[in-house]
Amino acid sequence: MAGRLYIPVRSSQLQYYIRVPLFFETAPGVYQLYKSPGMGISDVRIRQAMHPRLYIQQNDRMAAAAEVQKGFNREIARSIETGDVTSVKASLCSLVAETLAEPRAGMLQSLPQTMEVLVSGYSKQPGLLRMFATISNKDYSTVIHSVNVMALTLGYCFHSGVSLRETRRLGLSALLHDVGKSEIPSDILQAPRKLTDKEFEIMKAHPSIGSRIIKEINRLGEDIALGALEHHEKLDGSGYPKGMLNISFSGQIIGIIDCYEALTNEDRPYRRAMDPLETLNIIKSDVEAGKFDRTLFEKFCYSLL
Ligand SMILES: [Fe+2]
Ligand SMILES: [Fe+2]
């Protein structure tokens, strides 16, 4: 069986592989079937790690991503039903971590279904949403930031009476707004200081990269890409990448929420995380300077109450 390409599977995902066959390496570059399609691996085996390092075949990559995502979706739906908001967030963070690690590997394509599960779950239990973005996270990262921005965006949508269809669309756009950071070098993303001008120039490419990645997935539609492309634009033209004056609705709302989320949650060595009121006051001065839309900002404030 040598010669074909095999990709290692994360052990945290093993439980989801039913239809996709798994393989193990018997000698360097030689792989043998571990489980056939249709079989699962028992929980005990997974929990006690009673298995060798497992692999999927390169050809099964898309099917594997779809199967893993379905598993995540089932778990998220179950946790919403039982009101276990911490588990919902943990599952969603793993899913987004996978997607951001390799946006083209297939996970991105099934995210609309995940959003459907979230929006329908939350419209039944809106109280959960409020807790979602405030659960503290030890390791603040693009993943957690993206999930928080999505939760705040869904909160805004439910509060402002946005249709469910539009809510799903905006939620997805918010979840993916920083997907372009997957192509920014991690020493820039994680720099424990303010970025140099040169580094900031590189960082400024993430909206265009993100929009390009999203557009490559034709199921997602061009409008989802707008949130990624325009979330750093400002109404007075001082934003990036284009310095445009006419910004889409999703670019504007995700832009405000992105600022709010980063300022309230991101503790950097050179800047502490701020409390919500302090943050809203900072954004308010940006509204007064003509950078953000006043009505949108006010609606967002009310959605936090
Ligand atoms: Fe961004
Ligand atoms: Fe962001």
248 phi, psi to nearest 5 deg:
-60, 160
Q: How far apart are CA 79 and CA 225, in angstroms?
A: 29
In order of their start, the domains of the chain are 6-61 (no CATH), 83-303 (1.10.3210.10)
From ligand 2's centre to the CA of 58, what distance in Å? 32
From ligand 2's centre to the CA of 209, what distance in Å? 13
From ligand 1's centre to the CA of 254, what distance in Å? 9
Q: What is the DSSP letter of 20?
A: S
From ligand 1's centre to the CA of 238, what distance in Å? 15
Total number of residues shown for the chain: 305
Q: Quick one: which of 295, 287, 183 has its CA closest to 228?
A: 183
Complete DSSP assignment for 100-137: HH-TTSSTGGGHHHHHHHHHHHHHH-HHHHHHHTTS--
pLDDT band per the 50, 70, 90 thresholds, residue 2: very low
From ligand 1's centre to the CA of 12, what distance in Å? 28
Give the N- to C-terminal CA distance of the chain in Å, as an integer: 60
Instruction: Give the ligand at the shortest distance from the Cα of 205.
Output: 1
- Residues with Cβ within 8 Å of 191's Cβ and at least 6 positions away in sequence, in order, are 199
Confidence at residue 14, expressed as pLDDT on a 0 to 100 scale: 86
Instruction: Give the ligand at the shortest distance from the Cα of 239.
Output: 1
- Strand partners for 7: 56
From ligand 2's centre to the CA of 178, what distance in Å? 5
From ligand 1's centre to the CA of 140, what distance in Å? 15
pLDDT tens digits, residue range 95-114?
Answer: 888 787 777 777 777 788 88
From ligand 2's centre to the CA of 12, what distance in Å? 27
pLDDT tens digits, residue range 245-298?
Answer: 999 999 999 999 999 999 998 776 667 788 889 999 999 999 999 999 999 999
Q: How far apart are CA 259 and CA 272, in angstroms?
A: 14
From ligand 2's centre to the CA of 258, what distance in Å? 5
Predicted structure pTM score: 0.84
pLDDT tens digits, residue range 153-163?
Answer: 999 999 999 99
- Residue 2, SS3 per DSSP: coil
Q: Quick one: which of 243, 261, 263, 241 has its CA closest to 253?
A: 261
From ligand 2's centre to the CA of 117, what distance in Å? 23
From ligand 2's centre to the CA of 146, what distance in Å? 7
Instruction: Give the ligand at the shortest distance from the Cα of 232.
Output: 1
